Amino acid sequence: MVKIFLTNTDKIPRVVEFKNIQEVERMEERFFDVQQFYGDIIGMNIDSVEFCPNNTPPEKNDEILPWLWLIHPEWKDEILELADSKLKELIQEYLNDGLK
């Protein structure tokens, strides 16, 4: 699924309601990780998050993959295959924290 968004950036969801995000109870943790390492590519609304890439088209490793991990943490395996070392480390730390 991730590769579809990388090849066709027009299909990337731009606004996702919290109720449609798996592991929403830990979304804030993912949000702050992404914001710290990738900048302000995500807007936080009252009931949703919004993809706000700085580049057109969005960059794969610095924008698309972190965004997809925020809204679809269940895609972690596919994202890990494509991620840069920084995002891989964030995802691994997130997974390890979830085991505690």
Task: Flag whether pLDDT at 98 surpasses 90.
Answer: no
**pTM for this model (two decimals):** 0.95
Residues 48-78: tens digit of each pLDDT: 999 999 999 999 999 999 999 999 999 999 9
CA angle 10, 18, 55 (to 5 degrees): 35
Whats the size of the chain, residue-wise? 100
Task: Flag whether pLDDT at 91 surpasses 90.
Answer: yes
**The token pair that represents 87 in the structure block:** 């995002």
Containing domain of residue 58, as a range?
Answer: 2-98
Task: Flag whether pLDDT at 99 surpasses 80.
Answer: no
Counting Cβ atoms within 10 Å, is residue 28 exposed (0-12), middle (13-18) or buried (19+)?
exposed
Residues 21-47: tens digit of each pLDDT: 999 999 999 999 999 999 999 999 999
pLDDT at 90: 96
Domain count across the chain: 1
Residues 1-12: tens digit of each pLDDT: 899 999 999 999
